[in-house]
A and B are shown apart, each in its own frame.
Chain A
Amino acid sequence: MRDSALERAFAERQSWGYEAAYRRFGARMYTTALRVLADRGAAQDCVHEVMLHLWKRGDAYQPERGALEAFLVTCSRNRALERLRSAGRQSDAMRRAATSDESEELVADPIERERIARAIDALPAAQAQTIRFAYFKGMTLAETASALGEPVGTIKSRLSAALRTLRGSLVTADV
């Protein structure tokens, strides 16, 4: 359920909104970064870098954009990917994360996992394969294109289409 007062306060850079957002969504931001980086310390650094960056920027979020949690988690994931890629590391970190002891404690609700698996299976096969590579394995567009033997432009279009289709099956109105 979205909290419109919190989202407005965050957008208006009110301190309580920022603090409440950190307390409410920080754990999800952390696990998202951890999945990418497979390093607890780096994931924690990632979260605080995101929060400080957003505060300094000040205008990155508006409630009209969508759910604040989604915005913050996406920021955390993308910052983690930047860290991973700037360090010259590839998607192996995400594969290692999937088998780490941490993941055993953070494993998702099997029902939720199954729901997502079904939604992905329902995509056209090429889109499903693309999102598995580019999202779940954290491969870059170029890596995904190479692995699937397709032009990068095709991969971009498939990813975009896949996300729009998945929204219809996974996202409820109140997020």
Chain B
Amino acid sequence: MFELHIGELAELYALGELDPSERAAVDAHIAGCMQCLRRVGEAEETLLALERGVLAQPTPELLDRRMRFGASPRRYAAYALAAAAGLVLGILTMLPGYLRPAGPPQAPLLAMINSHFNHAQFAAVGSTKAPGAKVIYARDRSWLYILADGSEHYAVYAINGTASTRLGDLQPGGSTSALYVARAPAANAVELRDGATVVERAALR
């Protein structure tokens, strides 16, 4: 696509202003052209400098407060998921022993990495006080991974129309609880229940 170098496309690439085909062409080019790779990197560093002038980075304390007690405390589970994503990598590539956590088990994280997946937030049912929770699931529904803030042993049910199937109970681990279901039944929603009470529900696309 390019006679020699990518030119001004480097800055437009960093700005996210290329269409997918142009972006793919730039990716292919910079994989083998150090000069253009550096030009892209320089543009990214300039954008970072601009970004620092727009909004300051929150302190860890503020970020933690935002995640846990902000206007959307339920989103904490999303943050926990991102942290879990970091842990995935440790498990997959022989994380040093001191970092090996008592966190999410290996199977769901391997499943996440090796398949196409979606994720959905749980929404509280009625006025029940529900923890922030999220479900990550394979698009082919071959597995589900439910992650919730807190250490409650909620029962997890797959909902398919009017039918419900108990999948198991959330297992506490640190500040979150999780359940991995390797071969999930057909479902259009997942519920967390406390006894017979539906605490919250997430719709699967």
Interface residues of A, Cβ cutoff 8 Å to B = 13-16, 18-19, 22-23, 26-28, 30-32, 34-35, 40-41, 44-45, 47-48, 51-52, 55-56, 59, 62, 64-67, 69-71, 73-74, 77-78, 81-82, 103, 105-109, 112-113, 115-117, 134-136, 140-141, 156-157, 159-161, 163-164, 166-167, 170-171, 175
Contacts and interface: CB of A to CB of B under 8 A. Distances in A.
B11 A163 contact: yes
B115 to A, nearest CB: 10
Contact of A156 (B17, B53, B78): B17
B112 interface: yes
Interface residues of B, number: 65
B51 interface: yes
20 contacts: A15-B96, A19-B86, A19-B87, A27-B57, A30-B58, A31-B51, A31-B55, A35-B51, A44-B79, A45-B78, A64-B34, A64-B38, A66-B41, A78-B15, A82-B16, A107-B55, A112-B56, A163-B43, A166-B49, A170-B46
Main secondary structure of the interface of A (DSSP, over half): helix
A51 B51 contact: no
Interface of B: 7-8, 10-12, 14-17, 30-31, 34, 37-38, 40-58, 60, 62-63, 66-67, 70-72, 74-75, 78-79, 81-83, 85-96, 99, 112-113, 119, 121
